[in-house]
Structure 1
Amino acid sequence: MPLNAQQLNTATFAELLADTHHTAVHLEMRDVYAVGDEAEDFETFLLTGVPNLDPARSFWPQWMPLVEDAVARGVVMRRARIVSEPVTDYIRYEHAITPLNLQAGEGVRWLPRRRASDIALPGNDFWLLDDRLVQFHHFTGTGDWAPDGKERTTDPAAVALCHAAFETVWERGIPHEKYTVQAH
């Protein structure tokens, strides 16, 4: 049974994804994130240049089963990232750990920011689930989660904007396997 309006606002992301039946798409538009669950792995990457690709470490043990379950139920999961070039150290790190997203079942594409100038984009990163629910993500200026880090809406105009933005970015995006990060 689908979640009702109140449940949509109080559900965890895992519960929202479990209630998703067709598509889950994620658009990321920041060049730097500084969320706590990645801090140690990111610092190690900066020191060594070697990504931690152990799916049993960091945030992956929570994330990978969610994706694997959704994909097994027939949900198509795609992630697109708009990035400035040359890329930041964080984007180099994110690119290096993306094989784990792919292993879990996500499709991932990268779009250089200069190729996104004519796309109408929402002001924040988001997840769009089954073209019915948008979860916007709010970050501080330094890239950590803002105190009100998530905002959900089923507003048809917001859903339409996010759908159009994601599909345009996806169409123009470069598949992960073909995208080479250009470091400074």
Structure 2
Amino acid sequence: MKLITSAERNQLFEQFAHDAFHLELRDDYSVPDEDGPYASWLRGEPVDTSYMESWLRMVERVTGEGKSVRRVRVVTEPHTPYIQWEHETTPINETAGEAIRWLSRHRLPGEITFPCEGNDWWLFDGRLLAVGHFDEHGRVIGSELIDAPAVVAECVRVRDLLWDLATPHSEYKP
């Protein structure tokens, strides 16, 4: 399996035409850029969110062009500290133009099976997947690009199902 870097994956945001959708299934992410801000938050200190600036500028630009950037976060309740932090910082993403919804694992339909071996994925325009792969410590090691029609179609189905079930951030009360 060939993996692309996070920077290469982010270049896909320069190419999509209408919709970028992210399915998040993990209760903790070990993203190196977030290590310091997350540790500060855990200590109750002010959080420097400057590490998000390039992402937020990109989201503002593409959503300003009429494109959508959406996420569904499937989470365990009660939340891990990381998900609590993510919930608290979500308004920053939404201000930039992302639409973020939350779905508790206990509300998942019993028949759901997650494509892509249960990994997180970005779906671009319902035609291309960037499937995240993680090491044993939860660090992203890269993304696998998949455009196989059957796999993409299943991800489109799951995206639509979960988007309809999930609660918008402004209404989600952990």
Whether the 8 Å contact between 1:31 and 1:88 is mirrored in structure 2 is yes
Give me the whole-angstrom Cα distance separating, in 1, the residues matched to 2:10 and 2:80. 30
Amino acid at match of 2:24: E
Distance 1:44 1:164, change over 3 A: same
Give me the whole-angstrom Cα distance separating, in 1, the residues matched to 2:43 and 2:106. 30
Matched, 1:145 2:140: yes
Query: 1:113 is matched with which residue?
Result: 105
Question: Helix, strand or coil: the match of 1:42?
Answer: helix
The runs of 5 or more residues in structure 1 that have no matched partner are 1-8
Matched, 1:72 2:64: yes
Equivalent residues, number: 167
Give the deviation of 1:138 after TM superposition: 0.7
Structure 2 counterparts to residues 1-184 of structure 1, below 5 A: 12-48=8-44, 52=47, 57-58=50-51, 60-116=52-108, 117-122=110-115, 123-146=118-141, 149-181=142-174
Provide TM-score, normalisation by structure 1: 0.85
Give the deviation of 1:141 after TM superposition: 3.3
Give the deviation of 1:37 after TM superposition: 0.6
Amino acid at match of 1:90: Y
The runs of 5 or more residues in structure 2 that have no matched partner are none
Give the CA RMSD over aligned residues.
1.8
Give the deviation of 1:108 after TM superposition: 0.4
Distance 1:51 1:85, change over 3 A: farther
Give aligned-pair identity as a percent.
40
Whether the 8 Å contact between 2:30 and 2:139 is mirrored in structure 1 is yes
Give me the whole-angstrom Cα distance separating, in 1, the residues matched to 2:155 and 2:168. 20
Give the deviation of 1:139 after TM superposition: 1.2
